[in-house]
């Protein structure tokens, strides 16, 4: 029988963070002047990541997304992509990147077997990009998106976190830009996850507001069904252009969540909002067999009852999830350690 958690959710989608380092400092993710990093010797090697991925696939995982931090900072990433792409059980292999280093990497990633790519881009304005990320890398990201479009991935997506007063006046332009490069845009509601220390409820632009803004500009918008366990609700403009909204903050979708996350040092997290996870590096480095790893993963998943985003809805005075002092003590609480 297929492995399911306490709410009947299967283990399907594994997000693997390959580094906690990043070459941007987005204000909604890494707004602080300095950070506590994972010790380098704790980072899983590509062989260790492949061993763990095999254990996960034994239990039904068939979708893998490589993330970070910024995954393209990890040296030799195409060799990990090649190893994962060679696993028949991995039916879908994707990468999420900020795009800064993508122009030089896209073709190699495609050749190594990467199926799909998502680039995070919140604005089409260079000065705004610099204000939001603290780096003047806008042109590099656009070049990265162009290179990804040329590399011929099965799909190219652009993810934009929408923040009131920062980029909520660019929704239509972002969709049009996506259309021009053959990418589907997905708007992400600003989440109060660890690391978002400046999060405020008022800064969240809800799915409802996003749809109102877009229909005022483009005309009537139709839902596109069949979301399944994917995080985005999909919609179509009157001309057929599709886009998505990930409404994790105002309309969470925990009931369908088949995702879990492996940090770069091997901590396995059941939810973006989880306070702690399961250390898989320790048993792995202590010589656990494949069967023992499978058994451990199976036991933990069978007990999973996380529905972090839904629980946040019940909080009256919603503030940043994790206080700064706690983030300084445990890098695992940070979004940039967990991957998005
Ligand atoms: N560096 C890569 C990138 O930029 O895509 C991968 C890691 S990043 C943590 C993954 C995604 O999480 C990005 O799309 C980012 O915009 C999103 N993200 C980070 N903090 C967020 C927040 N507070 N609310 C919503 N999305 C957030």
- Tens-place pLDDT, residues 37-50: 999 999 999 999 99
Q: Residues 301-325: what's their mean pLDDT?
A: 93
Pocket lining: 96 vs ligand 1, CB cutoff 6 Å: yes
Pocket lining: 336 vs ligand 1, CB cutoff 6 Å: yes
- For residue 227, what pLDDT is reported? 79
Q: Residues 103-110: what's their mean pLDDT?
A: 98
Q: How far apart are CA 221 and CA 209, in angstroms?
A: 13
Starting from the edge strand earliest in sequence, which strands make up the sheet with 242-246, in order? Answer: 222-224, 233-236, 242-246, 184-189, 155-162, 116-120, 92-97, 63-67, 13-17, 259-262, 267-269, 278-279
Spatial contact of 214 and 174, defined as CB atoms under 8 Å apart: no
* Helix (H) or strand (E) segment spanning residue 97: strand 92-97
**How far away, in angstroms, is 290 Cα from ligand 1 center?**
32
**How far away, in angstroms, is 188 Cα from ligand 1 center?**
9
Looking from the CA of residue 98, the nearest atom of ligand 1 is 4
Query: Which one, of 62, 90, 87, lies nearest residue 2 by Cα?
Result: 62
Whether 102 has a pLDDT exceeding 90, the answer reads yes
Pocket lining: 183 vs ligand 1, CB cutoff 6 Å: no
Whether 9 has a pLDDT exceeding 70, the answer reads yes
**Ranges assigned E (strand) in 153-301:** 155-162, 184-189, 222-224, 233-236, 242-246, 259-262, 267-269, 278-279
- For residue 2, what pLDDT is reported? 84
To test the ligand 1 pocket, which listed residue (99, 145, 339, 340) has its Cβ within 8 A of the most ligand atoms?
A: 340
C-alpha gyration radius of the chain: 19
* Residue with CA nearest ligand 1 atom 12: 340
- For residue 194, what pLDDT is reported? 93
Looking from the CA of residue 118, the nearest atom of ligand 1 is 5
Q: Residues 151-161: what's their mean pLDDT?
A: 98
Q: Residues 242-263: what's their mean pLDDT?
A: 96
Looking from the CA of residue 193, the nearest atom of ligand 1 is 23
Whether 226 has a pLDDT exceeding 90, the answer reads no
Pocket lining: 161 vs ligand 1, CB cutoff 6 Å: yes
The string of pLDDT tens digits covering residues 44-74 is: 999 999 999 999 999 999 999 999 999 999 9
Whether 91 has a pLDDT exceeding 70, the answer reads yes
pTM score above 0.85:
yes
- For residue 1, what pLDDT is reported? 66
The string of pLDDT tens digits covering residues 182-210 is: 999 999 999 999 999 999 999 999 999 99
Whether 229 has a pLDDT exceeding 90, the answer reads no
Whether 228 has a pLDDT exceeding 80, the answer reads no
Pocket lining: 22 vs ligand 1, CB cutoff 6 Å: yes
To test the ligand 1 pocket, which listed residue (161, 168, 246) has its Cβ within 8 A of the most ligand atoms?
A: 161
- For residue 317, what pLDDT is reported? 87
- For residue 38, what pLDDT is reported? 97
The string of pLDDT tens digits covering residues 13-42 is: 999 999 999 999 999 999 999 999 999 999
Neighbouring residues of 68: CB distance < 8 A, sequence distance ≥ 6: 17, 18, 19, 20, 21, 22, 74, 96, 264, 336, 339
pLDDT classification of 8: cutoffs 50, 70, 90: very high
Residue-averaged pLDDT of the chain: 96
**How far away, in angstroms, is 249 Cα from ligand 1 center?**
14
Query: Which one, of 312, 73, 65, lies nearest residue 196 by Cα?
Result: 312
**How far away, in angstroms, is 271 Cα from ligand 1 center?**
15
């Amino acid at each position: 029988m297929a492995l399911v958690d306490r709410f009947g959710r299967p283990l399907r989608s594994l997000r693997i963070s390959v580094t906690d380092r990043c070459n941007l400092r987005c204000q909604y993710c890494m707004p602080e002047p300095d950070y506590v990093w994972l010790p380098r010797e704790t980072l899983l090697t590509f062989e260790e990541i492949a061993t763990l991925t095999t254990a996960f696939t034994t239990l039904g995982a068939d979708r893998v997304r490589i993330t970070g931090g910024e995954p393209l900072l990890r040296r030799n990433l195409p060799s990990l992509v090649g190893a994962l792409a060679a696993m028949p059980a991995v039916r879908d292999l994707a990468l999420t990147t900020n795009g800064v280093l993508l122009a030089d990497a896209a073709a190699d990633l495609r050749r190594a077997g990467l199926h799909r790519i998502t680039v995070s881009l919140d604005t089409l304005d260079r000065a705004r990009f610099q204000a939001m990320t603290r780096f003047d890398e806008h042109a590099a990201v656009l070049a990265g998106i162009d290179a990804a479009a040329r590399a011929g991935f099965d799909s190219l997506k652009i993810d934009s976190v929408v923040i009131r007063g920062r980029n909520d006046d660019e929704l239509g332009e972002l969709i049009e830009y996506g259309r021009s490069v053959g990418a589907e845009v997905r708007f992400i509601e600003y989440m109060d996850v660890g690391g978002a220390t400046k999060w405020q409820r008022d800064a969240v632009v809800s799915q409802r507001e996003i749809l109102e803004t877009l229909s005022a500009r483009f005309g009537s918008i139709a839902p596109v069904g069949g979301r399944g366990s994917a995080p985005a609700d999909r919609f179509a403009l009157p001309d057929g252009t599709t886009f998505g909204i990930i409404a994790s903050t105002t309309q969470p979708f925990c009931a369908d969540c088949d995702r879990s996350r492996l940090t770069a040092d091997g901590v396995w997290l059941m939810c973006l909002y989880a306070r702690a996870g399961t250390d898989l590096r320790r048993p792995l480095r202590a010589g656990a067999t494949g069967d023992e790893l499978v058994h451990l993963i199976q036991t933990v998943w069978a007990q999973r009852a996380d529905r972090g985003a839904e629980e946040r809805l019940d909080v009256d005075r919603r503030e940043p999830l994790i206080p700064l002092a706690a983030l300084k003590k445990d890098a695992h609480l940070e979004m940039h350690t967990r991957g998005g």
